């Protein structure tokens, strides 16, 4: 009646992988890295290149590692101040050379250009780095802290790495394997920084140039010495890539400037994504510099970083009533005005309404004054005081232009897909009156703010000429988009104002013709001097559009 149960057929048990990569372990999914090698299948499908096998540790081994990790973190808090050497990959002490902490004057900058030409890396991976990759404890090794390398190890003690020991092991490992802690050779790094302060800093003066060089050239490493954010520093290298000679780019191990820019961008992005830099001020500064990164693969990256800069700048707490006692008040003013100007110029080139409106911006903050930048004007290593003073006036002119652009962009790009809104006759008259007021405001800016900059005798020299002509390009672009929108309004309401449409469009056609001519002249300035890398991409597209609209049979034809 009852059947005797025999032995159950043995089912083939699916073996559990001996180890998983850090990403699969965090997601708690199966990983085949230990079987097929890494990158594992999951990381390949996700397009990840930072797949690293995680060690298979027993509980006793984990407890031992946690104890060692706690001891290591405690050792990082109080580094040995008497240690002045570092170990290379073979474990031998490396000799180092101290650097001068004195800031060079405007007469020259030889100290920056006579640096050793060896490649320098904060974290050196050994040729056979399998043990370091598999052991997460090595990520938090004191060798990765610039503080513990000694003041003369490689001249990189100016970088702030205190946050590294506070990150999760997986994030720290990603930063190390991604090269985020790597630095160019010292001589190449000097050129990158020199190009940054010559060509980028005048338009986005988010840093105090004198304080930066004092920190960069300090000869001693102390716990109380000011440090430079690694995230901001990588962003500075990115923003100056376009102006660095190709020989210097190749000295860093890159084939061209595009590869260098792409590498520096990914390093800075990983530092931002892992929250390596937690200070909102530094995060906003670095994000603003990352707006200079534009690629066809990610065309929205510029505006994404623009919004990140605005978000972090808001978190700095400047507010509608800035406190005079705030020690960072000047730095915040620099940041806010730099973001404001950059934001307006970006949206002007993209033909979109700004996401950062005046309602979110504290207009109680006055413009940067000469008194607030006295040390930078008198002690700049690259510019004489009169040139530095003129560059400040150019930036002040850009700030005033950006304030006018707020209304220009808002009204000119209010139409969706190039279609003007249907208005009543009264509303149309209000719009046309407002456009005339904005055009008058732009003309007044040119007459009272921009034109005096040309009568200084040094307006066409070097960087000053570049910045002034770039400002003029944005001004002429504003004139063009304002005329475009006014014409669109008139042509969309011809049934209401047929009798006076010609009297409105004729001055607009003359205005646009002059704006196109001025843009062509400014582009000729850059082309004749082989400075085309300074021309914004948005200007090239506007040039072709304006020529199309001002052709003899176009809507702005004088006939």
CA dihedral 508, 511, 513, 514 (to 10 degrees): 180
* 8-state DSSP, 9: P
Q: Tell me the C-alpha distance between 284 and 311, whole Å.
A: 8
Q: In terms of C-beta density within 10 A (0-12 exposed, 13-18 middle, 19 or more buried), how is residue 29 classed?
A: exposed
Q: Which two tokens stand for residue 1?
A: 């009646």
Q: Tell me the C-alpha distance between 244 and 188, whole Å.
A: 9
Question: What local confidence, expressed as pLDDT, does residue 25 receive?
Answer: 81
Question: What local confidence, expressed as pLDDT, does residue 100 receive?
Answer: 34
Question: What local confidence, expressed as pLDDT, does residue 448 receive?
Answer: 94
Whether the ω angle into residue 39 lies within 30 degrees of 0, i.e. cis, is yes
Q: Tell me the C-alpha distance between 264 and 258, whole Å.
A: 10
Q: Tell me the C-alpha distance between 463 and 148, whole Å.
A: 39
The answer to whether 383 and 105 are in contact (CB under 8 A) is no
Q: Tell me the C-alpha distance between 374 and 202, whole Å.
A: 15
Question: What local confidence, expressed as pLDDT, does residue 73 receive?
Answer: 40
Q: Tell me the C-alpha distance between 39 and 23, whole Å.
A: 11
The answer to whether 115 and 191 are in contact (CB under 8 A) is no
Q: What is the pTM of this model?
A: 0.71
Question: What local confidence, expressed as pLDDT, does residue 91 receive?
Answer: 40
Q: Tell me the C-alpha distance between 330 and 159, whole Å.
A: 22
* 8-state DSSP, 453: G
Question: What local confidence, expressed as pLDDT, does residue 475 receive?
Answer: 96
Question: What local confidence, expressed as pLDDT, does residue 87 receive?
Answer: 36
Question: What local confidence, expressed as pLDDT, does residue 126 receive?
Answer: 31
Question: What local confidence, expressed as pLDDT, does residue 527 receive?
Answer: 87
DSSP 45-56: HTT-S---BPP-
What is the per-residue pLDDT across 213-260, written as a single tens digit (0 to 9) for each?
999 988 766 666 789 999 999 999 999 999 999 999 999 999 999 999
Q: Is 322 helix (H, G, I), strand (E, B) or coil?
A: coil
Question: What local confidence, expressed as pLDDT, does residue 458 receive?
Answer: 64
Question: What local confidence, expressed as pLDDT, does residue 450 receive?
Answer: 93
Question: What local confidence, expressed as pLDDT, does residue 232 receive?
Answer: 97
Question: What local confidence, expressed as pLDDT, does residue 454 receive?
Answer: 77
| H or E stretch at 229 | strand 228-229
Q: Tell me the C-alpha distance between 244 and 534, whole Å.
A: 13
Q: Which two tokens stand for residue 253?
A: 């191990």
Q: In terms of C-beta density within 10 A (0-12 exposed, 13-18 middle, 19 or more buried), how is residue 260 classed?
A: buried
In the chain, which stretches have pLDDT less than 70?
A: 1-17, 38, 49-50, 54-155, 220-224, 318-325, 355-364, 415-419, 456-461, 537-559
* For the chain, domain boundaries: 102-276, 379-549
CA dihedral 225, 229, 232, 234 (to 10 degrees): 100
List C-alpha distances in Å: 149 to 88, 179, 229, 232, 272: 10, 18, 17, 21, 24
């Amino acid at each position: 009646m009852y059947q005797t149960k025999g032995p159950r057929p043995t089912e083939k048990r699916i073996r559990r992988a001996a180890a998983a990569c850090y990403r699969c372990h965090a997601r708690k999914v199966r990983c085949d890295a230990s079987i097929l090698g890494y990158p594992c299948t999951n990381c390949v499908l996700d397009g990840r290149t930072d797949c690293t096998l995680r060690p298979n540790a027993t509980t006793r081994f984990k407890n031992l590692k946690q104890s060692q990790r706690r001891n290591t973190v405690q050792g990082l808090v109080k580094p040995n101040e008497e240690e002045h050497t570092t170990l290379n990959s073979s474990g031998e002490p490396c000799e180092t050379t101290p650097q001068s902490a004195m800031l060079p004057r405007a007469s020259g900058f030889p100290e920056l250009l006579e640096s050793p030409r060896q490649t320098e890396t904060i974290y050196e991976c050994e040729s056979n780095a399998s043990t370091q990759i598999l052991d997460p404890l090595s990520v938090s090794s004191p060798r990765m802290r610039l503080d513990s390398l000694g003041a003369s190890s490689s001249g990189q003690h100016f970088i702030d790495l205190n946050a590294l020991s506070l990150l999760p092991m997986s994030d720290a490992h990603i930063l190390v394997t991604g090269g985020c802690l790597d630095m160019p050779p010292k001589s190449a790094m000097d050129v990158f920084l020199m190009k940054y302060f010559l060509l980028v800093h005048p338009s986005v003066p988010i840093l105090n140039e004198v304080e930066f060089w004092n920190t960069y050239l300090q000869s001693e490493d102390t716990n109380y010495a000011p440090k430079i954010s690694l995230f901001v520093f990588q962003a500075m290298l990115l923003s100056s890539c376009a102006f660095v000679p190709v020989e210097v780019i190749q000295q860093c191990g890159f084939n061209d400037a595009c590869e260098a820019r792409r590498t520096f961008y990914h390093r800075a992005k990983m530092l931002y994504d892992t929250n390596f830099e937690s200070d909102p001020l530094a995060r906003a500064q670095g994000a603003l510099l990352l707006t200079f990164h534009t690629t066809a693969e990610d065309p929205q990256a510029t505006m994404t970083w623009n919004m990140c800069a605005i978000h972090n700048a808001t978190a700095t707490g400047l507010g509608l009533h800035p406190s005079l006692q705030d020690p960072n008040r000047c730095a915040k003013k620099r940041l806010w005005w730099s973001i404001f100007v950059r934001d307006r110029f970006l949206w002007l080139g993209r033909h979109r309404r700004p996401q950062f409106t005046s309602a979110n911006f504290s207009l109680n903050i006055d413009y940067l004054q000469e008194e607030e930048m006295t040390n930078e004007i008198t002690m700049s290593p690259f510019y004489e005081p009169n040139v530095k003073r003129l560059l400040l006036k150019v930036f002040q002119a850009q700030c005033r232009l950006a304030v006018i652009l707020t209304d220009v962009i808002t009204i000119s790009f209010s139409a969706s897909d190039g279609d003007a809104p249907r208005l009543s006759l009264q509303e149309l008259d209000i719009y046309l009156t407002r456009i005339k007021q904005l055009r008058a405001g732009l003309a007044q800016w040119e007459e009272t703010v921009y034109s005096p900059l040309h009568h200084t005798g040094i307006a066409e020299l070097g960087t000053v000429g570049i910045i002034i002509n770039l400002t003029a390009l944005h001004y002429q672009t504003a004139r063009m988009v304002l005329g475009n929108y006014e014409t669109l309004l008139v042509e969309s309401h011809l049934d209401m104002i047929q009798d006076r449409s010609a009297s409105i469009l004729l001055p607009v056609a003359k205005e646009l013709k002059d704006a196109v001519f001025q843009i062509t002249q400014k582009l000729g300035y850059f082309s004749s001097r082989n400075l085309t890398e300074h021309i914004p991409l948005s200007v090239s597209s506007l040039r072709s559009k304006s020529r199309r609209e001002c052709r003899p049979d176009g809507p702005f034809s004088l006939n």
